[in-house]
């Protein structure tokens, strides 16, 4: 196996910097669109053969150092007993969670019974790849999932979920506890199926103040990290707009902290210290730069992050209009210049 990513996550030496891209299996790839044109998104997530096929596509086309299983962070939420609609305009919950009774009705599902198709997709992905690269499992963080469930979808102000936190904190904690009790077995199922590293997306955690993040997100992230590490895999924690939360994210004990593009990688390193790996942090829209400028951004990030304990990635997901050839150029540039960084030949 190409185990660069696993070594980097544990801050071990690698021959070059490993790279993968959030949302690397998706609409920017024509081969993905060819499959997606015949099936609804949610159905694709639940079809192990097709989910495995689209998981493998970017590994084959781009040469990335890991495959992240094709799924969605809201898949385990649906198994809790709430109606989920996933379309091109994003997620929608026709009956959002708003009351104590709504939260009480939510189940803590058996992961195999409710979401076993994810595990099967991981097994089929590993077989299709012949274990040539690691498979990344993932889940959303309790706060982020709760935000979707309470708001009924995406939001600009997050007024409903924040009112729940501030007006009924005990109920909010009960909600997050139930989500955590669902997510840990869900991730462990992915590990048992063959995921050798997992990422937790607290996509909306940056909407909370540091004080509120410490109260309402940190305890649950920390528990998830510890239990997954006990299952034998490294854990990545990632969220956007969380530069001010980096000291808190380090307290989760995660092996890797994801950085978005709003903070230089060396600043992130100084805040986090050298005993944790970092992931990131190219602005996804930099993939629209001319090749020479894109290559310069890659070199700058590699220098700032250093040769040990760095996984190159975007600061958020790759965008649908992106040219796949730009993504391939990015991966090749990371590998070429990452090797030069280790050999001491990277141009100043």
Residues classed as catalytic: 23, 27, 36, 72, 148
Counting every residue written for the chain, the total comes to 348
Please count the other Cβ atoms lying within 10 Å of the Cβ belonging to residue 179: 27
CB 151 within 8 Å of CB 73 = no
DSSP string, 161-210: HHHHHHH-HHHHHHHHHHHHHHHHHHHHHHHHHT--EEEEE-TTGGGS-H
Q: State which H helix or E strand residue 253 sits in.
A: none
31-to-26, 59, 90, 333 alpha-carbon distances in Å: 9, 13, 21, 23
**What are the structure tokens assigned to 166, written together?**
């501030």
Query: Which strands form 135-140's sheet, in the order they lie side by side?
Result: 67-68, 135-140, 197-201, 235-238, 256-258, 277-279, 310-311
Instruction: Give the whole-angstrom CA distance, residue 204 versus residue 166.
Output: 17
CB 323 within 8 A of CB 286: no
| The pair of three-digit structure tokens given for residue 341, joined into one six-digit string | 């960084």
Paired with 163 in beta bridges are none
Q: Which residues are annotated as a binding site for substrate?
A: 23-27, 72, 148, 203, 316
**Measured distance CA(281)–CA(264) in Å, rounded:** 8
Cβ-contact 160, 201 below 8 angstroms: no
From the list 97, 92, 74, 210, the residue with the least C-alpha distance to 164 is: 97
CA dihedral 325, 327, 331, 332 (to 10 degrees): 20
């Amino acid at each position: 196996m190409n185990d660069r990513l696993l070594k980097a996550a544990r801050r071990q030496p690698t021959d070059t910097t490993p790279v993968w891209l959030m949302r690397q299996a998706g609409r920017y790839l024509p081969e993905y669109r060819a499959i997606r044109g015949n099936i609804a998104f949610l159905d694709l997530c639940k079809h192990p053969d097709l989910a495995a096929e689209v998981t493998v596509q970017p590994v084959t086309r781009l040469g990335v150092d890991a495959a992240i299983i094709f799924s969605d962070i809201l898949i385990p939420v649906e198994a809790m007993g709430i109606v989920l609609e996933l379309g091109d305009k994003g997620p929608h919950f026709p009956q959002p969670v708003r009351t104590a009774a709504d939260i009480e009705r939510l189940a803590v599902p058996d992961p195999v019974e409710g979401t076993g198709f994810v595990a099967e997709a991981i097994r089929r992905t590993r077989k299709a790849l012949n274990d040539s690269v690691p498979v990344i499992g993932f889940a959303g963080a309790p706060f982020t999932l709760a935000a979707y469930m309470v708001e009924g979808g995406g939001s600009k102000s997050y007024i409903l979920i924040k009112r729940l936190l501030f007006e009924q904190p005990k109920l909010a904690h009960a909600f997050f506890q139930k989500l955590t009790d669902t997510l840990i077995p869900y991730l462990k199922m992915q590990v048992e199926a063959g995921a050798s590293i997992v990422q937790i997306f607290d996509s909306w955690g940056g909407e909370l103040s540091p004080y509120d993040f410490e109260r309402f997100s940190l305890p649950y992230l920390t528990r998830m990290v510890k239990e997954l590490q006990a299952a034998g895999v490294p854990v990545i924690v990632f969220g956007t707009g969380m530069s001010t939360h980096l000291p808190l994210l380090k307290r989760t004990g995660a092996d890797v902290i994801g950085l978005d593009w709003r903070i230089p990688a060396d600043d992130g390193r100084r805040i986090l210290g050298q005993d944790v790996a970092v992931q990131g942090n190219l602005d996804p829209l930099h993939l629209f730069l001319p090749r020479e400028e894109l290559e310069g951004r890659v070199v700058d990030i590699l220098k700032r992050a250093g040769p040990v304990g760095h996984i190159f990635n975007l600061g958020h997901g790759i965008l649908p209009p992106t040219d796949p050839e730009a993504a391939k150029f990015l991966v090749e540039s990371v590998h070429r210049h990452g090797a030069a960084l280790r050999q001491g030949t990277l141009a100043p």
